[in-house]
Structure 1
Amino acid sequence: MLAAIGLDEKHESAYRALVSVGAADLPDLARRLTLGEYDTELALRRLERHGLAAQSSARPGRWVAAPPGVALGALLTQQRHELEQAELAAALLAEEYRGAAGEPAVHDLVEVVIGTAAVAQRFLQLQLGATEEVCALVTGDPIAVSGMENDAEEQAVGRGVGFRVVVERAVLDMPHGITELTAALGRDEQVRVVAEVPTKLVVADRTLAMVPLTAHTAEPAALVVHASGLLELLCGLFESVWRTALPLRLGTDGVAEDGPEGPDGTDLEVLSLLLAGMTDVSVAKQLDLGLRTVQRRVKRLMELCGVTTRLQLGWHAYERGWVARDGSA
């Protein structure tokens, strides 16, 4: 929790341990932290440089914790000041850029990013810089970035950025596909599934987009597209795929509105994956169920709906609200 002021987990643990006892000798603190005395002393020296600990003048070798309210308050004030200065510098640079750029030249509307590290970094920047919404088309063959799992995505969601993601069916069969999609749905991201997406794509706030280059190059490469007719075309492509994709429902707890005799969370997961185009065998594998268990659950759902075919079951599932469906375009 104190990483923002420059302390890693080890140093934070050392400070917490010292705060809990007020003061301690080096060997005692080393035992509390289950660290060697050398590493413990290094951690204490780091805390000393931050003003969070000091050696006792009365008892050599004894370390005393600085009061958190005073010491941490000072560090946080310094961090706020530095952040304000950085924000001011960013605003001035942005103003200078706008003044110098004027009407951007055609070649400035598209950036070419080459190399795995560079593509991954630009992808993270798009998410970290988003303030409203990130839209993505995700394929089953990631190269530089997975499109599903990174800290930047969680940070963006934590800031209130919305996510709409369309994954192609192959993602469901990937080793960690269901786990990552379940985590995304748990963060209130909207996820839909289609048989195939036309291309990988990320759009941030409808002001920047990123698509891969398909040319035969030694390293992965991508285009970053700024505000232009091409960007509008890419936004339109995403919306078109989004409208035709099926909503995905995973990790639902409890029962549906039909009451205790209605489908439970696992039933709804099975149903959602089947409607996404997965086979009974694939569903059983992804949910760690037996094939017969999946088939029994499907049979029970059909009995609940009073239907005899899976096609009819899909229609009734939407009508009863068992499968997520919304009207957003």
Structure 2
Amino acid sequence: MLGVLGLDETHEAAYRTLVSVGVAEVPDLARRLTLGEHDTERALRLLERHGLAARSTARPGRWVAAPPGVALGALLVRQRHELDKAELAAALLAEEYRAATTEPAVHDLVEVVIGARAVSQRFLQLQLGAGDEVCALVTGRPTVVSGRDNDAEEQAADRGVRYRVVVERSVLDLPHGITELSAALGRDEEVRVVDRVPTELVVADRSQALVPLASPTAEPAALVVHAGGLLELLTGLFESVWRDALPLRLGTRGIAEGEPDGPDLEVLSLLLAGMTDASVAQQLGLGLRTVQRRVKRLMELAGVTTRLQLGWRAYERGWVTRR
């Protein structure tokens, strides 16, 4: 928690322990931290340099913690000052970069990124820089947008960033497709499914978009769109695909009496996404007869006799309502 102030886990633990006991000798503190005395003393010296601890003048050989409100407050002020300076430096560098560009007006609108690593890095930056929402269209053969490396998504979700994702139906058949989508839904992301998406796309806060330009013969590249009519067009494209897509529900529970339970809703969601009974059974690790029994139970609960009727009734009752 105090890492942003320059303290690692050991130093934070030492300070917290010292705060809890008030005053302590090195051997006692080392025992509480399960560290060697040399490492403990080195941690205390660093806390001393940060103004978080001091040697006791009244009781030689002992260390006391500085009041957190005062000591940590001073560190926070210093950190904010450093962040302000870094922000100013970033703004100045961005201004220099724009001034050095031969065609600044065009470059401000569209940027070309070349190379798989560079494109992946831009995708990561878009997510880490998002403050409100990330929207994505995912193809069955993604070049950038993938759920495998989801640290950035988890960090963004922790900050309250909303994710809306539309995936091609073929994503459900990928070896890790259901696992990745279940993880996304577990982070409260909204996921929908369509037959095909027109292009792979990421839009962050409606202020930047990334459009990969995959080619079987050339090095991967992407367009980073910053502003203007092209960005509005890409945002509108996402919203159009989103409206027509089917919601995906995995691992959810019924919210009211008379509603299907979680496992039944998983089966229903995948069937409405266009998967066969056999594919659903394989993806969920179920037997084919189990899937068919759940479909029959859903039809009985909905009061219908055909699967087509089941789909309509599911929408009427809000089991798979678009949000």
TM-score band, normalised by shorter chain: 0.7 to 0.9
Identity among equivalent pairs (%): 80
TM-score (norm 2): 0.83
Q: Output the CA distance in 1 between the equivalents of 2:22 and 2:177.
A: 48
* Counterpart secondary structure, 2:4: helix
**Aligned twin of 1:234:** 234
Amino acid in structure 2 at the alignment position of 1:210:
L
Consecutive unaligned residues in structure 1, runs of 5 or more: none
Q: Is 1:76 equivalent to 2:83 in the alignment?
A: no
Of stretches 117-126 and 214-223 in structure 1, the one that deviates more from structure 2 is: 214-223
Give the CA deviation at 1:206: 3.0
- Structure 2 CA distance for partners of 1:308 and 1:156, relative to 1, 3 Å: same
Do the aligned partners of 2:144 and 2:212 also contact (CA within 8 Å) in 1? no
**Aligned twin of 2:304:** 307
**Aligned twin of 1:292:** 289
Q: Is 1:54 equivalent to 2:29 in the alignment?
A: no
Give the CA deviation at 1:302: 0.9
Listed as ranges, the matches of 1:206-217 within 5 Å are 206-216=206-216
Do the aligned partners of 2:167 and 2:192 also contact (CA within 8 Å) in 1? yes
- Structure 2 CA distance for partners of 1:179 and 1:215, relative to 1, 3 Å: closer
**Aligned twin of 1:189:** 189
Do the aligned partners of 2:147 and 2:181 also contact (CA within 8 Å) in 1? no
Q: How many residues align?
A: 323
Q: Output the CA distance in 1 between the equivalents of 2:12 and 2:22.
A: 15
Give the CA deviation at 1:170: 3.4
For residues 34-58 of structure 1, give each alpha carbon's deviation from its aligned partner in whole angstroms, at most 9, with x where no partner exists. 3344443443333233222234456
Instruction: Determine which of 283, 292, 296 is the counterpart of 2:280.
Output: 283
Give the CA deviation at 1:202: 0.6
- Structure 2 CA distance for partners of 1:235 and 1:82, relative to 1, 3 Å: same
Q: Output the CA distance in 1 between the equivalents of 2:40 and 2:174.
A: 43
Amino acid in structure 2 at the alignment position of 1:31:
R
Of stretches 191-200 and 309-318 in structure 1, the one that deviates more from structure 2 is: 191-200
- Structure 2 CA distance for partners of 1:217 and 1:284, relative to 1, 3 Å: same
- Structure 2 CA distance for partners of 1:127 and 1:314, relative to 1, 3 Å: same
Give the CA deviation at 1:246: 0.7
Instruction: Determine which of 273, 287, 291 is the counterpart of 2:270.
Output: 273
Do the aligned partners of 1:110 and 1:225 also contact (CA within 8 Å) in 2? yes
Amino acid in structure 2 at the alignment position of 1:83:
L
- Structure 2 CA distance for partners of 1:119 and 1:97, relative to 1, 3 Å: closer
Q: Output the CA distance in 2 between the equivalents of 1:237 and 1:5.
A: 43
Do the aligned partners of 1:256 and 1:322 also contact (CA within 8 Å) in 2? no
- Structure 2 CA distance for partners of 1:61 and 1:19, relative to 1, 3 Å: same
For residues 7-31 of structure 1, give each alpha carbon's deviation from its aligned partner in whole angstroms, at most 9, with x where no partner exists. 2333222222222222333333333
**Aligned twin of 2:32:** 32
Q: Is 1:244 equivalent to 2:244 in the alignment?
A: yes
For residues 139-174 of structure 1, give each alpha carbon's deviation from its aligned partner in whole angstroms, at most 9, with x where no partner exists. 344445525753443444455543321112333344
Of stretches 309-318 and 139-148 in structure 1, the one that deviates more from structure 2 is: 139-148
Q: Output the CA distance in 2 between the equivalents of 1:59 and 1:3.
A: 30
Q: Output the CA distance in 1 between the equivalents of 2:12 and 2:184.
A: 30
**Aligned twin of 1:163:** 163
**Aligned twin of 2:172:** 172
- Structure 2 CA distance for partners of 1:55 and 1:176, relative to 1, 3 Å: farther
* Counterpart secondary structure, 1:135: strand
* Counterpart secondary structure, 2:202: strand
* Counterpart secondary structure, 1:54: strand
Task: Provide the alpha-carbon RMSD of the alignment.
Answer: 3.3
Q: Output the CA distance in 2 between the equivalents of 1:32 and 1:283.
A: 53
Q: Output the CA distance in 2 between the equivalents of 1:38 and 1:119.
A: 46
Amino acid in structure 1 at the alignment position of 2:20:
S
Give the CA deviation at 1:301: 0.6
- Structure 2 CA distance for partners of 1:68 and 1:108, relative to 1, 3 Å: closer
Do the aligned partners of 2:47 and 2:53 also contact (CA within 8 Å) in 1? yes
TM-score (norm 1): 0.81
Q: Is 1:21 equivalent to 2:15 in the alignment?
A: no
Give the CA deviation at 1:123: 1.4
Do the aligned partners of 2:123 and 2:144 also contact (CA within 8 Å) in 1? no
- Structure 2 CA distance for partners of 1:264 and 1:147, relative to 1, 3 Å: closer
Q: Output the CA distance in 1 between the equivalents of 2:306 and 2:289.
A: 17
Give the CA deviation at 1:300: 0.5
For residues 290-314 of structure 1, give each alpha carbon's deviation from its aligned partner in whole angstroms, at most 9, with x where no partner exists. 4433322111111122323222211
- Structure 2 CA distance for partners of 1:28 and 1:217, relative to 1, 3 Å: farther
Amino acid in structure 1 at the alignment position of 2:122:
R
- Structure 2 CA distance for partners of 1:280 and 1:163, relative to 1, 3 Å: same
